[in-house]
Chains A and B, each alone.
Chain A
């Protein structure tokens, strides 16, 4: 095998360093792959091959290796921690600088162990490109797949696959080709197309910096040549302007809004709209200290703006151009990876961060958990997303946020979730739900408010919940249900004997206002009207009153017509006579017993039975109507 001397490389490097255009940013390349497939060894050897090691470093590593009684270990260059060297495993991501003949790189060495996936994400999220290592003797493994899929979620699109340890399979081309086809098929499913597959032996430098005699059948580029084909990610300057406000300062009698231009550009005089809210103002100045006067700013710049009109703006709002607003919503679908030790659980509060916005949120539903191995769906209904799993979820926020679908704008379509004090997950918003169409016009029209707008405001659908059964019993359960739903942040109202009787009497004194157990058809119809009215106000309306099935059926039909949910529940205590028997009117008695009239039939009475019944109703509401997330928004 051809081994170039360190001295010959040094000469090459020194000439290249001077010719490097100083204005260009280094390309950031992350090294990923399954544990023990040779990532750190590869990085160490690549540093040496390209002459990027400082004087004495190799000798230092030699000493560290001798002390542990192991042969020279390239990985020690990156594995700086004692525990990493002792266990021969990378724990945390390391970054280093490297020069090839054409330019400078930042190399990000990510850990492959499943346990340290959070550190892999930390490193890979900022990369322009990736090298995926696969050990030839082991082939595609769990973390090969998981890292591949995460690269796609993290937005890393440039990828070269290195099939390492080719010496262990006798430089067998068939092994290489098999891995190539298996890996390509998998990556295609994940949405990434690798630029090339390269057979290497990292520890010996085979195919790292130049062609090798060991793999005559391989005609493609060396690793260094393939890396030189990578490009830095382009700033999204052609997209509409987005400046998430980071802070508001008052210095020297100026009120300055600061933030980073995440996309597009801004100029003095531009009219800006701030979302959520939709307030408008024009840019008076772009402030800078110890720099020439600025008339505009491009993507990536951190700007300080003063406004012509004095409007209230705060951190988290996003400045956009007129006519090109983001979506403002409570609800969206996200594809995310969860790194928390504790699972991400439905209906619990988490902190959501989108740009500089921070709001409480809950997962309304876990729509799909993706199996990293097959990229298929994990079977069964899930209520949570476990440690290191990837899933699609529906997120509901406590207050509205400004967001763009990731496909339209990566910077404003990304999110992270914090569990307690630590970041625990991240992902992309792939579909925005329930957003009034800001893009069509200038905010909501001045017409009659729609139910949709009310749903948006309250953060849930309106639903009628009809509780039938013994009046005193159902009232008791209904009051508790009202408290539970209210505590969950819902707009809820209970209609029962205590408030309905009075209303009915004053509204229509000629109605036969009998106690609930003696409801006539007319009274039932009046109650049904009242219930539907409240539901159209956007409320979750509970009604605890026995109603004839015909009335209930027409109430259900009307509710569904108006896009209001409907849930009927029959509650009975053990030893109760069937509910229908206690209704005096023969008409009512005749049709109330039909089982099809109820979505739920539950037993109550004992404390445990009551609790179980309430849980079932709440679950049914949450699942059936994607009702309310908001368990404990008070954090």
Chain B
């Protein structure tokens, strides 16, 4: 097997374990490259089907192309889409673009809080999330099956052991588990897989007038990088050479040394 095949097979195994163990199960889809590749892996695991709902947390600040792409795939791939939005906070206007919240606070309200609302409303016991270890320090310490308490908090100082592909699948009522089937992939691996499988991705990832998005988020907090990469192989080539870290264009991470740790501890993906 090639390395990419090994990565794929491991992810499929994890996805099938999650499907066997958790009901109701959902998949968090940011419509970025990672969770879209993840969605593709789900279709592989279930022979073309997506047998559980797909959740998109819409902060209302997403770049319009992202929503277009989302709605197109929803139709073409026959997805049961749940859109989560913290309408109360949006009505109140307590957001970073309005100047009434810090970037991190805005993330926490519009993403983490909106996600918690969806989890409680649908009583999800398992959530599949497309994070990877190579993205960031605290994500590199994650488990494939990561328990969250009732308020979605991550007890990262006391994580259960996990080995030999035997996962912690029993949890107390009211808690849920984040399942991370892409944990062992790198950014380049994801693009290699997108190339190999011809998975459609948002056009924002490709260079337009010398710039492209490397990591997608909300418009006010996501920056573009200088790039001439107009095709997937060109992106792969560019990433193999770069020394820039992937999330360096995500402004909320840079607010303080522990900005991301605090976000993740309280339930951010």
Contacts and interface: CB of A to CB of B under 8 A. Distances in A.
Contact of A22 (B17, B192, B261): B192
B65 interface: no
A126 B164 CA distance: 7
Interface in B128-185: 133-134, 136-138, 140-141, 143, 156-157, 159-164, 166-168, 170-172, 184
Interface stretch (B5-13, B27-35, B108-116): B5-13
B209 interface: no
A13 to B, nearest CB: 9
Nearest to A353: B166
A97 B3 CA distance: 14
Contacts of A10: 243
A53 B134 CA distance: 12
B20 A80 contact: no
B13 A54 contact: no
Contact of B43 (A22, A25, A290, A339): A290
Interface residues of B, number: 54
B213 interface: no
Nearest to B258: A82
B13 A289 contact: no
A122 B143 CA distance: 9
A82 B261 contact: yes
Interface in A301-336: 301-302, 304, 315
A289 B16 contact: no
A81 B142 CA distance: 12
B141 A92 contact: yes
Contact of A92 (B9, B45, B159): B159
Contact of A260 (B13, B47, B243, B257): B13
Interface in B191-208: 192, 197
B248 interface: yes
B3 A22 contact: yes
Nearest to B254: A60
B48 interface: yes
Contact of B241 (A14, A22, A288): A14
Nearest to B262: A82
B176 to A, nearest CB: 13
Interface stretch (A128-136, A247-255, A466-474): A247-255
Contacts of B19: 247
A404 B234 CA distance: 48
A592 interface: no
A302 B160 contact: no
Nearest to B240: A17
Given A252-B47, A300-B9, A80 B197 contact: no
A121 interface: yes
A91 interface: yes
A91 B140 CA distance: 13
Contacts of B240: 17-18
Contacts of A301: 1, 9
A375 B6 CA distance: 37
A118 B16 contact: no
Contact of A300 (B1, B45, B157, B166): B1
A344 to B, nearest CB: 14
B244 interface: yes
B261 A80 contact: yes
B215 interface: no
Interface string B33-52: 00000000001111111000
A421 B1 CA distance: 35
B186 interface: yes
Interface in A376-397: none
B2 interface: yes
Given A423-B161, A426-B164, A251 B49 contact: yes
B245 interface: yes
Interface residues on A, range: 35 or more
A24 B2 CA distance: 6
B259 to A, nearest CB: 11
A418 B243 contact: no
Contacts of B45: 258, 302
A254 to B, nearest CB: 8
A252 B51 CA distance: 13
Contacts of A260: 9, 13
Contact of B166 (A92, A235, A290, A426): A426
B244 A290 contact: no
Contact of A119 (B161, B166, B244, B248): B161
Contacts of A82: 257-258, 261
Contact of B47 (A247, A251, A416): A251
Contacts of A595: none
A256 B47 CA distance: 10
Contacts of B20: 246-247, 315
A193 interface: no
A560 B8 CA distance: 57
B3 A302 contact: no
Contact of A94 (B1, B137, B244): B137
A10 to B, nearest CB: 8
B244 A251 contact: no
B189 to A, nearest CB: 10
Contact of B244 (A55, A83, A96): A55
A32 B134 CA distance: 21
Q: Which of A78, A154, A290 has the largest number of chain B CB atoms within 10 A?
A: A290
Given A56-B248, A414-B164, A67 B138 contact: no
A228 B159 CA distance: 32
A238 interface: no
B168 to A, nearest CB: 6
A125 B164 CA distance: 6
A96 B197 CA distance: 26
A63 interface: yes
A25 B3 contact: yes
Given A249-B46, A251-B47, A290-B197, A122 B1 contact: no
B152 to A, nearest CB: 17
A422 B160 contact: yes
A95 B139 CA distance: 9
A288 B243 CA distance: 38
Contact of B16 (A54, A246, A290, A422): A246
Given A81-B261, A288-B47, 16 more contacts: A17-B240, A53-B243, A54-B243, A64-B257, A67-B257, A80-B136, A91-B156, A94-B137, A119-B159, A122-B161, A122-B162, A249-B47, A251-B47, A260-B13, A290-B44, A291-B44
Interface of B: 1-4, 6, 9, 12-13, 16-17, 19-20, 43-49, 133-134, 136-138, 140-141, 143, 156-157, 159-164, 166-168, 170-172, 184, 186, 192, 197, 240-241, 243-245, 248, 257-258, 261
24 contacts: A22-B3, A54-B248, A55-B248, A80-B136, A80-B261, A81-B137, A81-B141, A83-B157, A94-B137, A94-B140, A96-B133, A118-B160, A121-B161, A122-B163, A154-B163, A251-B46, A251-B47, A300-B6, A301-B1, A416-B163, A416-B164, A421-B168, A421-B172, A426-B163
Interface of A: 10, 14, 17-18, 22-26, 53-57, 60, 63-64, 67, 78, 80-83, 91-97, 106, 118-119, 121-122, 125-126, 154, 235, 246-247, 249, 251-252, 256, 258, 260, 287-291, 298, 300-302, 304, 315, 339, 351, 353, 414, 416, 418, 420-424, 426
